[in-house]
């Protein structure tokens, strides 16, 4: 068997394999285009944490429906979520699915790294004897694979002409029906509210882990200094509530409200979200937290935290470039650090003043 699975990894055949199709290069495993509840559960786990790093499929050739010698070959990455999105998009079609070994990374990221690239595509075309499976010489490569795949290199090495398909797998049927012609909308990357919402956990969950660590220190340190538990809790609570509000502002509110927040720099958007939310949290935090020095410290420090967290969302956004983020960080990160440092000094000054007074 030269086709799917390819035997080059120890990974078992995917659960979705439900048969086999004969081809000019032997049997090719056929995959279902349906998602099971288990698939959906795994997709959720991918969105939430490090499970995504282990969610991969064996590279190689797969069959969708009843493909023949003239059927199109769709190329994708061996990240399980990419694989699943593509196989579902092909549900009403016959297709060959050529899965590249990107070490479990999605198409766009892997293209940036070069693992979804000309070299791997050329190798995979040869390893699967694709020239014997199909009579035509066309490959459908996702447009977002283009940073790694040079169409002219692939054609020179294999004879296969690369047709860059739409950005989104869901547009594949319409693109194929139109004779492999993309509308301008199919060529554009969008970043709508659902796209942003699905990425929120990526920044939020690590931030909440930091928050938990800081909360543990803030609650335990006063205990270690000999304060009673109730006293320690009362001292830490306003600080922790404000910090949590700042995290929510920077990692949830700003990413969701991204297009409506003023400014182009993400750090500015995060700041704009952080200031009113910190002010509101401060208003709720009780009179002790509104002592002048403390209030000033809060209004400096917490929006800076929001600003920094929103800056991290540049990694999730599909329209921020290296030069832009570099420029933004040169200006924003020193200011954010200075604001947090100054806030800490003001809070310390307040604590000393409190101790000095009877």
Partner 1 sequence: MRYLSGVTTLRLEAERCNGCGRCVEVCPHGVFAIPDRRAAVVDRDACMECGACQRNCAQGALTVQAGVGCAAALTKAALSGRSGSPPSCGCDDGGGCCG
State the sign of the Cα–Cα–Cα–Cα dihedral 192, 329, 46, 7: positive
- Kind of pairing, strands 60-64 and 26-31? parallel
Angle between the 193-224 and 292-312 helix axes, to the nearest 10 degrees?
140
CA-nearest of 308, 304, 286 to 295 is: 286
Give the gyration radius of the chain's Cα atoms. Answer: 26
Q: To the nearest whole angstrom, how small is the minimum distance from the Cβ of residue 68 to partner 1?
A: 27
CA-nearest of 113, 44, 116 to 81 is: 44
Binding of residue 304 to partner 1 (CB under 8 A): no
Binding of residue 105 to partner 1 (CB under 8 A): yes
Binding of residue 187 to partner 1 (CB under 8 A): yes
Place of tokens 């056929």: 30
Binding of residue 79 to partner 1 (CB under 8 A): yes
E strands along 125-197, which residues? 138-142, 161-165
**Among 6-14, 51-59, 66-74, 287-295, the segment contacting partner 1 (CB under 8 A):** 51-59
- CB closer to partner 1, 144 vs 346: 144
User: Given candidates 319, 355, 356, 357, which one binds partner 1 under the rule CB under 8 A?
Assistant: 319
Q: To the nearest whole angstrom, how small is the minimum distance from the Cβ of residue 280 to partner 1?
A: 26
Binding of residue 327 to partner 1 (CB under 8 A): yes
- CB closer to partner 1, 197 vs 352: 197
**Among 31-39, 179-187, 271-279, 286-294, the segment contacting partner 1 (CB under 8 A):** 179-187
Binding mask 250-269 for partner 1 (x = CB under 8 A): --------xx----xxx---
Q: How many residues does the chain have?
A: 358
With contact defined as beta carbons under 8 Å apart, do 91 and 33 qualify?
yes
φ, ψ of residue 262 in degrees (nearest 5): -70, 160
Binding of residue 355 to partner 1 (CB under 8 A): no
Binding of residue 191 to partner 1 (CB under 8 A): yes
Residue 38, classified by CB atoms within 10 Å of its CB into exposed (0-12), middle (13-18) or buried (19+), is exposed
Q: Which residues bind partner 1 (CB under 8 A)?
A: 46-47, 52-53, 55, 79, 81-82, 103-106, 108-109, 111-113, 143-144, 146-152, 164, 167, 182, 184, 187-189, 191, 195, 198-199, 202, 258-259, 264-266, 311-312, 314-329
């Amino acid at each position: 068997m030269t086709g799917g699975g390819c035997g080059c990894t120890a990974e078992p055949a995917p659960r979705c394999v439900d048969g086999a199709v004969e081809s000019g290069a032997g049997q090719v495993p056929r995959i279902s285009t349906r998602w099971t509840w288990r698939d959906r559960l795994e997709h959720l786990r991918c969105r939430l944490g490090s499970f995504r790093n282990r969610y991969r499929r064996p590279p190689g050739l797969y069959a969708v429906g009843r493909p023949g010698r003239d059927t199109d070959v769709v190329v994708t990455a061996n990240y399980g979520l990419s694989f699943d999105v593509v196989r579902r998009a092909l549900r009403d079609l016959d297709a060959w699915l050529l899965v590249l070994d990107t070490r479990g990374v999605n198409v766009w990221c892997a293209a940036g790294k070069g693992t979804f690239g000309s070299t791997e595509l050329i190798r995979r075309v040869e390893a699967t004897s694709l020239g014997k499976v199909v009579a035509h010489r066309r490959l459908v490569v996702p447009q977002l694979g283009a940073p790694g795949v040079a169409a002219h290199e692939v054609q020179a090495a294999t004879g296969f002409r690369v047709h860059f398909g739409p950005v989104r797998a869901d547009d594949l049927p319409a693109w194929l029906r139109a004779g492999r012609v993309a509308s301008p909308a199919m060529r554009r990357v969008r970043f709508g509210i659902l796209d942003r919402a699905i990425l929120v956990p990526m920044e939020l969950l690590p931030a909440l882990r930091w928050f938990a660590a800081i909360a543990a220190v803030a609650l335990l340190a006063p205990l270690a200094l000999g304060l009673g538990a109730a006293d320690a809790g009362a001292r830490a609570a306003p600080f922790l509530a404000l910090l949590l509000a700042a995290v929510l502002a920077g990692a949830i509110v700003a990413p969701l409200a991204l297009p409506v927040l003023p400014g182009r720099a993400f750090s500015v958007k995060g700041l704009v979200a952080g200031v009113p939310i910190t002010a509101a949290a401060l208003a709720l935090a009780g009179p002790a937290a509104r002592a002048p020095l403390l209030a000033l410290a809060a209004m400096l420090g917490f929006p800076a935290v929001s600003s920094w967290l929103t800056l991290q969302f540049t990694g999730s956004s599909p329209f921020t470039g290296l030069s832009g983020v570099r420029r933004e960080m040169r200006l924003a990160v020193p200011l954010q650090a200075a604001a947090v440092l100054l806030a800490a000094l003001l809070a310390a000054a307040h604590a000393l003043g409190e101790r000095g007074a009877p």
